[in-house]
Amino acid sequence: DYYDLPHIPQHFLAEMGHFFEVYKELEGVPTEVLGWERASLAHQQIVYAANLYQERLASTAPEQ
């Protein structure tokens, strides 16, 4: 099982980076993988995005 960046084999990270570059290239979008971050940062970003979504949803909801 993989729980954080140090647990993931470097070869797999290289394959994933290549996948994203080729995938976007097929859409005509230039992409460069700059690196990888730890799971804790990903978790923070997901929580931030979920909170932002809830705030915007609440601000656009019709009053009842």
Please give the structure tokens belonging to residue 47: 């929580």
Residues spanned by the domain of 22:
5-60
Q: Within 13 Å and on the Cβ side, how many CA atoms surround 22? A: 6
Task: Kindly report whether the global pTM for this prediction surpasses the value 0.85.
Answer: no
pLDDT value, residue 63: 77
Separation of alpha carbons 26 and 21, rounded Å: 9
pLDDT value, residue 11: 97
Residue 63 DSSP class = P
Q: Within 13 Å and on the Cβ side, how many CA atoms surround 16? A: 10
pLDDT in tens, 25-57: 888 988 899 999 999 999 999 999 999 999 999
Residue pair 20/31 in contact (Cβ under 8 Å)? The answer is yes
pLDDT value, residue 27: 87
pLDDT in tens, 12-22: 999 999 998 89
